[in-house]
Amino acid sequence: MIKFFRKIRKKLIEEDNVRKYLLYAIGEIVLVVIGILIALQINNWNEEKIMDRMVSQALSEIREDLVQDTLTLQSRITLQLAEFEAQTRVVDALTRQTLNEEEHRSDLGKLMLMRETVLLRNGYDYLKDLGISHLNRPELRQTLLQYYEHDYAMLRKDLQNDEFEFEDVWLPYARVHFKDWEFGEYAVPHSYSNIQNDTYLLTTLKINLTNKDGTIRAHSQALETAKSLITMLETR
């Protein structure tokens, strides 16, 4: 092809036909430009295909993370609900002054506990590195942001509050007023009478129930969003 154009160029130069030569030169430039544009388009197309594959890989990893997250969240909700009910029974017993070892030994071991909830972000972080704007499904993109940027943040905030109350409020109290304590299993106070008449303990447990309710709600919201995301990812 190049040899063919050279022959034409040589012939026009030999004929000393300036007008035809200029037209030929312009035509050759146009062909070169068209060739460059086609090459750029092919390169862009290839890059888009590569990006689509990486985004698809990130979404597959996100789905795997979410499946594990739903198991973790459901497990935590079940535990937290049981602990909430146990603490409610203790609050009722303290209010009625009917606290006793036979009925409440196990419940006392479930007061103001903090349990870590670890959710997976590997797939989402990979997608963020690629650029979440490459995801051309607005509803899915919005739900991902809801789960990882909002629900996750709210969950972490509630867990931090639980950690503070457990470590800075409950443990110091338990060390002074309990002779035996096993995390989540049981607790035995030095004197049932003393803690039964301790208004500080009753008030503290009531406040903590409100915080526990918030933590359970945060877990439930995250679980609902995670399930929605799994459904959306499975129908892509």
- How do the domains of the chain map onto residue ranges? 57-234
Name the β-bridge partners of 187.
181
Task: Please give the torsion angle defined by the CA atoms of residues 130, 135, 136 and 142, in that order, rounded to the nearest 10 degrees.
Answer: -130
- Give the whole-angstrom CA distance, residue 58 versus residue 103: 51
211, burial (CB in 10 Å: exposed 0-12, middle 13-18, buried 19+): middle
pLDDT at 235: 81
Whether this prediction's pTM lies above 0.75 is answered by yes
pLDDT at 34: 72
pLDDT along the chain (236 residues), means of 10: 52 54 59 64 63 89 97 97 97 95 95 95 94 90 96 95 96 96 96 94 97 97 97 86
Task: Note the pLDDT of residue 50.
Answer: 76
Q: Kindly give, in sequence order, each residue whose CB lies less than 8 Å from that of residue 78, ignoring residues fewer than 6 positions away.
A: none
Distance of alpha carbon 89 from alpha carbon 84, whole angstroms = 9
In this predicted structure, what is the pLDDT of residue 70? 98
Q: Give the whole-angstrom CA distance, residue 193 versus residue 189.
A: 9
Q: What is the pLDDT of residue 125?
A: 95
Residue found under tokens 């929605």: 228
**DSSP structural state of residue 114:** -
